[in-house]
Chain A
Amino acid sequence: MIFVNLALLGMLIVCALAVSFTKNLLTSLIVYMAYSLIMTVIWMLLESPDLAITEAAVGAGITSVLFFVTLKKIHALKGDRDHEQAQK
Chain B
Amino acid sequence: MDYRQEIREFIGNNLTMDHEDTPINDDDNYFELRFVNSLFAMRLVDFVERRFQIEIGNEDLDLSNFCTINRLQDLIERKLNAKGAAI
**Is B a genuine binding partner of A?**
no
